């Protein structure tokens, strides 16, 4: 197995032209710091082919792929219905969403607002339950994401968001140009709530599929799997491997995960190509342990694996 390091970044040609549009929310396990390395591992072009991302999160990889690989069509899936609703509203109703976001941003950052009042506003929004799938729910989701502790997404046993307020001085909830650019890129993109177990129906023959499931925890105290109410178990990791094995003959796929013994052993299979890349992780339970951590990338092409 080879390990790719940050050297790729230093030797990459200087980018010309405007910077690419990226994600508009913070997401645990977001792949922003790995995009340069991922570009070297992905097909050079996706023209004429579909792109499917069954664990879209903040869409960091999608935004890079759509601008650099030009897929013919894109499908973004995630089990988090509130996250999916935000993406759908940004795609379809941005003009109606912006005033709600402005309201949150101005209320949170009002000059001379006593800290207690700011806190009261945050916890009132956190306690509110706007109808699922509404514009209000989308605005609340982005507001909480940008003002809560470390951009974490954690739910209690009743499905309520329970992350405390972060200690940012004047957090930016949104930037209109960035949201408009994201909305433009999302036009025509299929965005659905979907468990990965049901994602096969979205994959057409010849598509390129990138999968970034919740990490297998590096240690028993790591909280990296706390994305969904039910967590992501070893059974889920195994079911995902089985799904990828089942579909290896009809699509090209790339999966990233933590480089634990369990995950490495799971993917030691014929036709699967394992590599390590060094990831900068910035969100974890203790706030400690930041730095570069090897992450596993498995593909059914490249290396010794034949390209389907």
Starting from the edge strand earliest in sequence, which strands make up the sheet with 50-53, in order? 2-4, 273-281, 291-299, 252-258, 208-211, 50-53, 73-78, 190-193
**In terms of CB distance, is 207 or 216 closer to ligand SAM?**
216
Q: Cα–Cα distance between 205 and 207 in angstroms, integer?
A: 6
Instruction: Choose, by CB under 6 A, the member of 108, 214, 252, 298 that binds ligand SAM.
Output: 214
Q: Convert residues 53-92 into a mask of x (bound to ligand SAM by CB under 6 A) and - (unbound).
A: -xx-xx-xx----------------xxx------------
3-class secondary structure, 50: strand
CB of 210 to ligand SAM, least distance (A): 8
Q: How many angstroms separate the Cα of 63 from the Cα of each of 87, 144, 270, 291?
A: 12, 22, 31, 24
Under rule CB under 6 A, residue 29 binds ligand SAM? yes
CB of 260 to ligand SAM, least distance (A): 14
**In terms of CB distance, is 103 or 233 closer to ligand SAM?**
233
Rule CB under 6 A: which of 94-113 touch ligand SAM? none
Instruction: Choose, by CB under 6 A, the member of 33, 102, 150, 195 that binds ligand SAM.
Output: 195
Q: How many angstroms separate the Cα of 120 from the Cα of each of 165, 176, 257, 298, 306?
A: 10, 26, 38, 46, 57
Instruction: Choose, by CB under 6 A, the member of 4, 24, 27, 278 that binds ligand SAM.
Output: 27
CB of 173 to ligand SAM, least distance (A): 18
Binding segment (CB under 6 A) for ligand SAM, from list 4-12, 27-35, 165-173, 243-251: 27-35
- Helix ranges restricted to H, the chain: 7-11, 35-41, 60-68, 81-92, 94-109, 115-127, 135-147, 176-186, 234-247, 261-266
Site size toward ligand SAM (CB under 6 A) is: 21
Q: Cα–Cα distance between 110 and 170 in angstroms, integer?
A: 9
Rule CB under 6 A: which of 217-246 touch ligand SAM? 227-228, 232
Using the structure block, give the residue that is written with the tokens 């593909």. 299
Binding site for ligand SAM (CB under 6 A): 27, 29-31, 54-55, 57-58, 60-61, 78-80, 195-196, 212-214, 227-228, 232
């Amino acid at each position: 197995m080879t390990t790719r390091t940050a050297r790729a970044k230093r030797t990459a040609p200087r980018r010309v032209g405007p910077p690419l549009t990226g994600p508009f929310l913070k997401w645990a396990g977001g792949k922003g710091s790995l995009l340069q390395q991922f570009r070297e591992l992905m097909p050079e072009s996706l023209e004429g082919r579909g792109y499917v991302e069954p664990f879209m999160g903040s869409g960091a990889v999608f935004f890079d792929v759509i601008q650099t690989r030009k897929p013919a069509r894109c499908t973004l899936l995630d089990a988090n219905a509130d996250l999916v609703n935000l993406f759908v509203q940004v795609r379809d109703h941005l003009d109606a969403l912006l005033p709600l976001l402005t309201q949150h941003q101005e209320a949170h950052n009002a000059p001379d607002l006593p800290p207690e009042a700011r806190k009261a506003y945050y916890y009132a929004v956190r306690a509110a339950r706007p109808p699922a799938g509404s514009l209000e729910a989308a605005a609340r989701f982005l507001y909480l994401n940008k003002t809560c502790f470390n951009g974490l997404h954690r739910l209690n046993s009743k499905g309520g968001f329970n992350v405390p307020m972060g200690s940012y001085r004047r957090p930016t909830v949104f930037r209109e140009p960035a949201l408009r650019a994201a909305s433009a890129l999302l036009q025509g993109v299929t965005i659905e709530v979907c468990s990965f177990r049901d994602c096969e129906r979205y994959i057409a023959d010849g598509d390129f599929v990138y999968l970034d499931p919740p990490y297998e925890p590096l240690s028993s105290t790591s909280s990296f799997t706390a994305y969904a109410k039910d967590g992501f178990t070893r059974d889920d990791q195994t079911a995902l491997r089985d799904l990828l094995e089942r579909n290896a003959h009809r699509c090209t796929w790339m999966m990233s995960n933590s480089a634990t013994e369990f995950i490495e052993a799971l993917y030691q299979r014929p036709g699967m190509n394992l590599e390590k890349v060094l990831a900068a992780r910035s969100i974890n339970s203790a706030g400690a342990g930041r730095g570069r951590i090897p992450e596993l990338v498995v593909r059914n092409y490249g290396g010794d694996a034949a390209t389907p």
